[in-house]
Structure 1
Amino acid sequence: MQTSSRPDRTPSGAVVEHYYRELVSFLSARLGSRQAAEDVAHDAYLRVLERTDPQQIEHPRAFLYRTALNLVIDRHRRHLLRQAEPLEVLDLDERWHSPAPTQHMQLDQRLALMQKALDELSKPCRDSFLLRKLDGLSHQQIADHLGISRSLVEKHIVNAMKHCRVRMRQWES
Protein backbone atom coordinates (compact mmCIF):
# COMPACT_ATOMS: atom_id res chain seq x y z
CA MET A 1 0.00 0.00 0.00
CA GLN A 2 1.31 3.43 -0.89
CA THR A 3 1.60 5.94 1.87
CA SER A 4 2.67 8.80 -0.35
CA SER A 5 0.16 10.97 -2.16
CA ARG A 6 2.48 10.89 -5.19
CA PRO A 7 1.46 8.26 -7.76
CA ASP A 8 3.84 5.36 -8.35
CA ARG A 9 5.85 6.19 -11.45
CA THR A 10 8.15 3.20 -11.52
CA PRO A 11 7.57 0.25 -13.82
CA SER A 12 6.95 -2.03 -10.83
CA GLY A 13 5.34 -5.34 -11.55
CA ALA A 14 2.23 -4.48 -9.55
CA VAL A 15 1.57 -1.27 -11.47
CA VAL A 16 2.30 -2.79 -14.86
CA GLU A 17 0.49 -6.05 -14.08
CA HIS A 18 -2.64 -4.05 -13.29
CA TYR A 19 -3.03 -3.26 -17.02
CA TYR A 20 -2.39 -6.75 -18.40
CA ARG A 21 -5.94 -7.80 -19.33
CA GLU A 22 -6.78 -4.36 -20.63
CA LEU A 23 -3.65 -4.37 -22.80
CA VAL A 24 -4.38 -7.86 -24.18
CA SER A 25 -7.93 -6.80 -25.11
CA PHE A 26 -6.61 -3.65 -26.78
CA LEU A 27 -4.01 -5.63 -28.75
CA SER A 28 -6.48 -8.39 -29.66
CA ALA A 29 -8.69 -5.85 -31.38
CA ARG A 30 -5.74 -4.57 -33.42
CA LEU A 31 -4.10 -7.91 -34.21
CA GLY A 32 -7.21 -10.03 -34.64
CA SER A 33 -5.74 -12.79 -32.48
CA ARG A 34 -5.74 -13.19 -28.73
CA GLN A 35 -2.68 -15.47 -28.92
CA ALA A 36 -0.71 -12.82 -30.85
CA ALA A 37 -1.93 -10.16 -28.42
CA GLU A 38 -0.73 -12.19 -25.43
CA ASP A 39 2.66 -12.66 -27.11
CA VAL A 40 3.04 -8.93 -27.72
CA ALA A 41 1.83 -8.12 -24.19
CA HIS A 42 4.43 -10.50 -22.71
CA ASP A 43 7.15 -8.95 -24.84
CA ALA A 44 6.03 -5.47 -23.79
CA TYR A 45 6.13 -6.48 -20.13
CA LEU A 46 9.64 -7.85 -20.57
CA ARG A 47 10.80 -4.63 -22.23
CA VAL A 48 9.36 -2.51 -19.43
CA LEU A 49 10.69 -4.78 -16.68
CA GLU A 50 14.15 -5.02 -18.26
CA ARG A 51 14.38 -1.27 -18.64
CA THR A 52 17.71 -0.06 -17.23
CA ASP A 53 17.03 3.67 -17.39
CA PRO A 54 16.95 4.86 -13.76
CA GLN A 55 14.54 7.68 -14.59
CA GLN A 56 11.04 7.08 -13.29
CA ILE A 57 8.20 6.50 -15.72
CA GLU A 58 5.75 9.37 -15.45
CA HIS A 59 2.75 7.44 -16.84
CA PRO A 60 3.26 3.63 -16.58
CA ARG A 61 0.06 2.75 -18.47
CA ALA A 62 0.90 5.01 -21.42
CA PHE A 63 4.50 3.76 -21.43
CA LEU A 64 3.35 0.13 -21.49
CA TYR A 65 0.88 0.79 -24.31
CA ARG A 66 3.47 2.71 -26.36
CA THR A 67 5.94 -0.15 -25.87
CA ALA A 68 3.33 -2.68 -27.00
CA LEU A 69 2.35 -0.61 -30.05
CA ASN A 70 6.02 -0.27 -31.02
CA LEU A 71 6.33 -4.04 -30.84
CA VAL A 72 3.24 -4.44 -33.05
CA ILE A 73 4.77 -2.06 -35.60
CA ASP A 74 8.11 -3.93 -35.49
CA ARG A 75 6.29 -7.24 -35.90
CA HIS A 76 4.37 -5.91 -38.90
CA ARG A 77 7.54 -4.56 -40.52
CA ARG A 78 9.35 -7.87 -40.04
CA HIS A 79 6.40 -9.70 -41.57
CA LEU A 80 6.39 -7.40 -44.60
CA LEU A 81 10.15 -7.72 -44.98
CA ARG A 82 10.02 -11.52 -44.83
CA GLN A 83 7.31 -11.59 -47.48
CA ALA A 84 9.43 -9.43 -49.80
CA GLU A 85 12.75 -11.26 -49.28
CA PRO A 86 13.78 -13.85 -51.83
CA LEU A 87 14.65 -17.25 -50.36
CA GLU A 88 18.32 -16.80 -51.32
CA VAL A 89 18.62 -14.11 -48.65
CA LEU A 90 18.09 -16.76 -45.98
CA ASP A 91 21.32 -18.47 -47.09
CA LEU A 92 23.23 -15.27 -46.39
CA ASP A 93 21.53 -14.56 -43.09
CA GLU A 94 23.95 -15.16 -40.20
CA ARG A 95 21.21 -16.53 -37.97
CA TRP A 96 21.04 -19.66 -40.14
CA HIS A 97 24.72 -20.49 -39.66
CA SER A 98 25.95 -22.41 -36.65
CA PRO A 99 27.44 -20.24 -33.92
CA ALA A 100 31.16 -20.10 -33.18
CA PRO A 101 32.28 -22.56 -30.46
CA THR A 102 32.74 -19.80 -27.85
CA GLN A 103 29.32 -18.40 -28.66
CA HIS A 104 27.86 -21.91 -28.40
CA MET A 105 29.47 -22.28 -24.97
CA GLN A 106 28.04 -18.93 -23.84
CA LEU A 107 24.59 -20.02 -25.01
CA ASP A 108 24.95 -23.29 -23.10
CA GLN A 109 25.98 -21.39 -19.96
CA ARG A 110 23.05 -18.99 -20.28
CA LEU A 111 20.68 -21.91 -20.82
CA ALA A 112 22.04 -23.62 -17.69
CA LEU A 113 21.53 -20.40 -15.70
CA MET A 114 18.00 -20.04 -17.05
CA GLN A 115 17.24 -23.63 -16.03
CA LYS A 116 18.62 -22.88 -12.55
CA ALA A 117 16.37 -19.80 -12.28
CA LEU A 118 13.35 -21.79 -13.45
CA ASP A 119 14.12 -24.51 -10.88
CA GLU A 120 13.77 -21.90 -8.13
CA LEU A 121 10.14 -21.25 -9.07
CA SER A 122 7.13 -23.08 -7.69
CA LYS A 123 5.91 -25.90 -9.93
CA PRO A 124 2.71 -24.09 -11.05
CA CYS A 125 4.66 -20.92 -11.82
CA ARG A 126 7.35 -22.78 -13.78
CA ASP A 127 4.80 -24.96 -15.58
CA SER A 128 2.69 -21.94 -16.59
CA PHE A 129 5.76 -20.19 -18.01
CA LEU A 130 7.04 -23.26 -19.88
CA LEU A 131 3.64 -24.22 -21.28
CA ARG A 132 3.31 -20.69 -22.65
CA LYS A 133 6.83 -20.11 -23.94
CA LEU A 134 7.76 -23.61 -25.12
CA ASP A 135 4.43 -25.18 -26.01
CA GLY A 136 2.67 -21.98 -27.10
CA LEU A 137 -0.49 -22.73 -25.16
CA SER A 138 -2.94 -19.90 -24.52
CA HIS A 139 -3.57 -18.73 -20.98
CA GLN A 140 -6.94 -20.47 -20.97
CA GLN A 141 -5.42 -23.74 -22.20
CA ILE A 142 -2.78 -23.55 -19.45
CA ALA A 143 -5.44 -22.79 -16.84
CA ASP A 144 -7.48 -25.79 -17.98
CA HIS A 145 -4.38 -28.03 -18.09
CA LEU A 146 -3.18 -27.02 -14.60
CA GLY A 147 -6.63 -26.67 -13.03
CA ILE A 148 -6.08 -23.06 -11.95
CA SER A 149 -7.67 -19.76 -12.91
CA ARG A 150 -6.66 -17.83 -15.99
CA SER A 151 -5.69 -14.80 -13.91
CA LEU A 152 -3.40 -16.97 -11.78
CA VAL A 153 -1.75 -18.26 -14.97
CA GLU A 154 -1.16 -14.66 -16.06
CA LYS A 155 0.36 -13.79 -12.67
CA HIS A 156 2.56 -16.90 -12.75
CA ILE A 157 3.92 -16.03 -16.19
CA VAL A 158 4.69 -12.42 -15.28
CA ASN A 159 6.29 -13.52 -11.99
CA ALA A 160 8.40 -16.14 -13.78
CA MET A 161 9.62 -13.56 -16.30
CA LYS A 162 10.52 -11.12 -13.51
CA HIS A 163 12.28 -13.79 -11.47
CA CYS A 164 14.32 -15.10 -14.39
CA ARG A 165 15.31 -11.60 -15.44
CA VAL A 166 16.49 -10.69 -11.94
CA ARG A 167 18.42 -13.95 -11.44
CA MET A 168 20.09 -13.80 -14.86
CA ARG A 169 21.25 -10.25 -14.16
CA GLN A 170 22.62 -11.31 -10.78
CA TRP A 171 24.52 -14.28 -12.17
CA GLU A 172 25.85 -12.52 -15.26
CA SER A 173 27.24 -9.51 -13.41
Structure 2
Amino acid sequence: MEHYYRELVSFLCARLGNRQAAEDVAHDAYLRVLERTASEQIEHPRAFLYRTALNLVVDRHRRHLVRQAEPLEVLDADGRFHSSELHQDLQLDQRLALMRKALAELSQPCRDSFLLRKLEGLSHPQIAERLGISRSLVEKHIVNAMKHCRLRMRQWDS
Protein backbone atom coordinates (compact mmCIF):
# COMPACT_ATOMS: atom_id res chain seq x y z
CA MET A 1 0.00 0.00 0.00
CA GLU A 2 2.82 2.42 0.82
CA HIS A 3 4.03 2.41 -2.79
CA TYR A 4 0.84 4.25 -3.85
CA TYR A 5 1.62 7.24 -1.64
CA ARG A 6 3.37 9.55 -4.13
CA GLU A 7 0.93 8.65 -6.88
CA LEU A 8 -2.00 9.43 -4.55
CA VAL A 9 -0.50 12.77 -3.45
CA SER A 10 -0.02 13.81 -7.10
CA PHE A 11 -3.59 12.78 -7.89
CA LEU A 12 -4.95 14.77 -4.93
CA CYS A 13 -2.70 17.75 -5.64
CA ALA A 14 -4.24 18.03 -9.11
CA ARG A 15 -7.71 18.13 -7.55
CA LEU A 16 -6.96 20.36 -4.57
CA GLY A 17 -4.35 22.64 -6.14
CA ASN A 18 -2.30 22.51 -2.94
CA ARG A 19 0.41 19.97 -2.13
CA GLN A 20 0.14 20.46 1.65
CA ALA A 21 -3.63 19.79 1.55
CA ALA A 22 -3.04 16.79 -0.74
CA GLU A 23 -0.52 15.30 1.70
CA ASP A 24 -2.92 15.85 4.62
CA VAL A 25 -5.76 14.09 2.78
CA ALA A 26 -3.42 11.25 1.75
CA HIS A 27 -2.34 10.75 5.38
CA ASP A 28 -5.95 10.71 6.55
CA ALA A 29 -6.89 8.26 3.78
CA TYR A 30 -4.04 5.96 4.75
CA LEU A 31 -5.16 6.06 8.38
CA ARG A 32 -8.71 5.11 7.43
CA VAL A 33 -7.55 2.30 5.17
CA LEU A 34 -5.17 1.01 7.86
CA GLU A 35 -8.03 0.99 10.38
CA ARG A 36 -10.16 -0.96 7.94
CA THR A 37 -7.47 -3.48 6.95
CA ALA A 38 -6.87 -4.30 10.62
CA SER A 39 -10.32 -5.92 10.77
CA GLU A 40 -10.88 -7.16 7.22
CA GLN A 41 -9.12 -7.97 3.95
CA ILE A 42 -9.63 -5.39 1.18
CA GLU A 43 -9.92 -6.94 -2.27
CA HIS A 44 -8.68 -3.91 -4.29
CA PRO A 45 -6.53 -1.81 -1.92
CA ARG A 46 -5.49 0.83 -4.47
CA ALA A 47 -9.08 1.50 -5.56
CA PHE A 48 -10.22 1.55 -1.94
CA LEU A 49 -7.46 4.01 -1.02
CA TYR A 50 -8.38 6.35 -3.89
CA ARG A 51 -12.12 6.17 -3.09
CA THR A 52 -11.38 6.92 0.56
CA ALA A 53 -9.20 9.89 -0.43
CA LEU A 54 -11.84 11.26 -2.79
CA ASN A 55 -14.49 10.94 -0.07
CA LEU A 56 -12.22 12.91 2.26
CA VAL A 57 -11.80 15.62 -0.41
CA VAL A 58 -15.60 15.86 -0.73
CA ASP A 59 -15.99 16.03 3.07
CA ARG A 60 -13.31 18.71 3.27
CA HIS A 61 -15.08 20.74 0.58
CA ARG A 62 -18.45 20.43 2.35
CA ARG A 63 -16.96 21.56 5.69
CA HIS A 64 -15.41 24.54 3.91
CA LEU A 65 -18.78 25.49 2.40
CA VAL A 66 -20.54 25.16 5.76
CA ARG A 67 -17.93 27.35 7.46
CA GLN A 68 -18.40 30.00 4.77
CA ALA A 69 -22.20 29.83 4.93
CA GLU A 70 -22.75 29.88 8.71
CA PRO A 71 -22.34 33.18 10.52
CA LEU A 72 -20.14 33.11 13.62
CA GLU A 73 -23.15 33.81 15.84
CA VAL A 74 -24.72 30.49 14.82
CA LEU A 75 -21.53 28.61 15.64
CA ASP A 76 -21.17 30.51 18.90
CA ALA A 77 -24.75 29.69 19.93
CA ASP A 78 -24.24 25.99 19.27
CA GLY A 79 -23.93 24.17 22.60
CA ARG A 80 -21.25 21.82 21.29
CA PHE A 81 -18.74 24.67 21.37
CA HIS A 82 -19.49 25.45 25.03
CA SER A 83 -19.69 21.93 26.44
CA SER A 84 -16.62 21.99 28.65
CA GLU A 85 -17.61 18.95 30.61
CA LEU A 86 -14.93 17.74 32.98
CA HIS A 87 -15.37 14.15 31.81
CA GLN A 88 -14.58 15.02 28.17
CA ASP A 89 -11.56 17.05 29.19
CA LEU A 90 -10.29 14.18 31.32
CA GLN A 91 -10.75 11.68 28.49
CA LEU A 92 -8.87 13.97 26.11
CA ASP A 93 -6.01 14.33 28.61
CA GLN A 94 -5.83 10.54 28.98
CA ARG A 95 -5.80 10.01 25.21
CA LEU A 96 -3.07 12.63 24.77
CA ALA A 97 -0.98 10.91 27.46
CA LEU A 98 -1.41 7.58 25.65
CA MET A 99 -0.45 9.20 22.34
CA ARG A 100 2.71 10.64 23.94
CA LYS A 101 3.51 7.17 25.30
CA ALA A 102 3.04 5.61 21.83
CA LEU A 103 5.23 8.28 20.23
CA ALA A 104 7.93 7.70 22.85
CA GLU A 105 8.18 4.08 21.65
CA LEU A 106 9.22 5.18 18.15
CA SER A 107 12.76 5.76 16.94
CA GLN A 108 13.88 9.39 17.08
CA PRO A 109 13.83 9.95 13.26
CA CYS A 110 10.39 8.32 12.97
CA ARG A 111 8.97 10.42 15.83
CA ASP A 112 10.61 13.61 14.55
CA SER A 113 9.26 13.07 11.01
CA PHE A 114 5.75 12.54 12.35
CA LEU A 115 5.82 15.53 14.72
CA LEU A 116 7.35 17.90 12.17
CA ARG A 117 4.57 16.97 9.75
CA LYS A 118 1.62 16.91 12.13
CA LEU A 119 2.54 19.65 14.59
CA GLU A 120 4.66 22.03 12.56
CA GLY A 121 3.02 21.35 9.19
CA LEU A 122 6.30 20.94 7.33
CA SER A 123 6.23 19.32 3.91
CA HIS A 124 8.06 16.06 3.25
CA PRO A 125 10.94 17.80 1.40
CA GLN A 126 11.31 20.29 4.30
CA ILE A 127 11.41 17.45 6.83
CA ALA A 128 13.92 15.52 4.71
CA GLU A 129 16.17 18.56 4.53
CA ARG A 130 15.88 19.33 8.24
CA LEU A 131 16.59 15.72 9.31
CA GLY A 132 19.15 15.01 6.57
CA ILE A 133 17.29 11.97 5.24
CA SER A 134 15.58 11.11 1.96
CA ARG A 135 12.02 12.13 1.20
CA SER A 136 10.97 8.50 0.75
CA LEU A 137 12.34 7.72 4.21
CA VAL A 138 10.34 10.63 5.64
CA GLU A 139 7.20 9.20 4.02
CA LYS A 140 7.93 5.74 5.44
CA HIS A 141 8.58 7.16 8.91
CA ILE A 142 5.29 9.06 8.90
CA VAL A 143 3.26 6.06 7.72
CA ASN A 144 5.00 3.81 10.26
CA ALA A 145 4.36 6.30 13.06
CA MET A 146 0.67 6.47 12.15
CA LYS A 147 0.43 2.67 12.05
CA HIS A 148 2.19 2.32 15.39
CA CYS A 149 0.11 4.98 17.15
CA ARG A 150 -3.15 3.59 15.76
CA LEU A 151 -2.22 0.06 16.89
CA ARG A 152 -1.15 1.14 20.38
CA MET A 153 -4.23 3.33 20.90
CA ARG A 154 -6.43 0.39 19.85
CA GLN A 155 -4.60 -1.94 22.25
CA TRP A 156 -4.90 0.49 25.14
CA ASP A 157 -8.58 1.22 24.43
CA SER A 158 -9.49 -2.43 24.86
TM-superposed deviation, 1:171 = 0.9
Aligned residue number for residue 71 of structure 2: 86
Gaps of 5+ in 2: none
Candidates 10, 26, 30, aligned match of 1:41: 26
Aligned residue number for residue 148 of structure 1: 133
TM-score (norm 2): 0.95
Candidates 99, 108, 118, aligned match of 1:114: 99
Aligned residue number for residue 84 of structure 2: 99
* CA–CA distance in structure 1, aligned partners of residues 134 and 145 of structure 2: 16
- Percentage of pairs with the same residue: 84
Say yes or no: does 1:18 pair with 2:20. Answer: no
Aligned residue number for residue 64 of structure 1: 49
TM-score (norm 1): 0.87
Gaps of 5+ in 1: 1-15
* CA–CA distance in structure 2, aligned partners of residues 93 and 131 of structure 1: 33
Say yes or no: does 1:30 pair with 2:19. Answer: no
Aligned residue number for residue 3 of structure 1: none
By percentage of residues, which structure has more helix? 2
Name whichever of 86-95 and 140-149 sits farther off: 86-95
Name whichever of 47-56 and 128-137 sits farther off: 47-56
State the number of aligned residues.
Answer: 158
For residue 106 of structure 2, give the secondary structure of its aligned residue in structure 1.
coil
TM-superposed deviation, 1:52 = 6.6
For residue 36 of structure 2, give the secondary structure of its aligned residue in structure 1.
coil
Candidates 1, 26, 35, aligned match of 1:50: 35
The one-letter code matched in structure 2 to 1:47 is: R
